[in-house]
Amino acid sequence: MAIADQPLPSLRNRLLAALPSGDVAKLWPQLEPVELEFRKTLQRPDEPAGSVYFPEVGYVSRLASMEDGDSAEIGLIGPEGMTGLAVLLGADRDSFELLVQMPGTAMRMDATAFRKALDDIPSLRPLLNRYALAHFEQVARTGACNGRHHIDQRLARWLLMSHDRTGSDEFPMTHEFMSMMLGVRRAGITVAAGSLQKAGLINYRAGKMRIADRPGLEAATCECYGVARRAYDSLIGLPAGTSRPYWR
């Protein structure tokens, strides 16, 4: 049976779920379910985007690369969002890398078909434009937070953002990865993670992170986490029939 003839499943990507059912039906034949493989590069800097992705489980990092070979994460894209903002905004590429940091699944769409859908489906572009604004809010908050707040607070914020997008209290994590994502030395990550673990907020060992006390972790972070989440929910709205944010 062709995918277009199949009943539409429960959508796990919040943007797709926010579309009217009739518009989802129009979009559905263009969407291909794919695996998000750990450490797979979905988009290289300054190369044309061939596809856009709507993650369902797991997340993708937007990375800014430096001349010395280091990279720093500037944003996370999980089930709340999509890749391909350059395509949405009328370009075909940007200067950032998209790297799968937490494996999962996504719905993939050819970039040419996506551009056509933006013109053919009236509800699509306004929704995704609001998502773009919410994502840029996240990026801006990340920059401000990394420049002003203590590493313990920054690590708590980033762990909450990861937790939101994994669907599990336990997920793979290494000191090297956390160091790259926060742009700090591994020694600083060791101290900050040890502080959060001593407080009973996380359990971390052998490359595995477990969130042991989410309310406590939320209390330990700065205001940046809550500001970005509230901005997203304000711009995108809550799922129909619910009173809680989508992520947690």
pLDDT tens by residue, 87-106: 999 999 999 999 998 899 99
**Residue 126 pLDDT > 90, yes or no?**
yes
Per-residue confidence band for 247, with pLDDT thresholds at 50, 70 and 90: very low
Instruction: State the Cα angle at 236 between 222 and 118, rounded to 5°.
Output: 130
Per-residue confidence band for 148, with pLDDT thresholds at 50, 70 and 90: confident
Give the model's pLDDT for residue 166: 84
Which DSSP string do the residues of 172-206 spell out, in sequence order? Answer: E--HHHHHHHHTS-HHHHHHHHHHHHHTTSEEEET
Cα–Cα distance, 205 to 5 (Å, whole number): 47
- Domain locations along the chain: 3-145, 150-221
**Residue 241 pLDDT > 90, yes or no?**
no
Give the model's pLDDT for residue 9: 59
Which DSSP string do the residues of the chain spell out, in sequence order? Answer: --GGGSPP----SHHHHHS-HHHHHHHGGG-EEEEE-TT-EEE-TTS---EEEEEEEEEEEEEEE-TTS-EEEEEEE-TT--S-HHHHTT-S--S-EEEEEEEEEEEEEEHHHHHHHHHH-TTHHHHHHHHHHHHHHHHHHHHHHHHHS-HHHHHHHHHHHHHHHHSSSEEE--HHHHHHHHTS-HHHHHHHHHHHHHTTSEEEETTEEEES-HHHHHHHS-HHHHHHHHHHHHHH-PPTT--S-S--
Would you say the CATH fold of 150-221 matches that of 3-145?
Answer: no
What percent of the chain stands above pLDDT 70?
Answer: 92
- Check if CATH label 2.102.10.10 holds for domain 3-145: no
**Residue 246 pLDDT > 90, yes or no?**
no
Cα–Cα distance, 37 to 104 (Å, whole number): 7
Lowest average pLDDT, out of 38-42, 55-59, 115-119, 162-166, goes to: 162-166
User: Looking at the domain covering 150-221, what would its CATH class be?
Assistant: mainly alpha
pLDDT tens by residue, 47-95: 999 999 999 999 999 998 888 777 778 889 999 999 999 999 999 999 9
Give the model's pLDDT for residue 239: 53
pLDDT tens by residue, 199-238: 999 998 878 899 999 999 999 999 999 998 888 988 987 5
**Residue 242 pLDDT > 50, yes or no?**
no
pLDDT tens by residue, 175-196: 777 877 777 787 888 888 889 9
Q: At what angle do helices 175-182 and 186-198 cross, to 10 degrees?
A: 110
Per-residue confidence band for 109, with pLDDT thresholds at 50, 70 and 90: very high
What percent of the chain stands above pLDDT 90?
Answer: 58
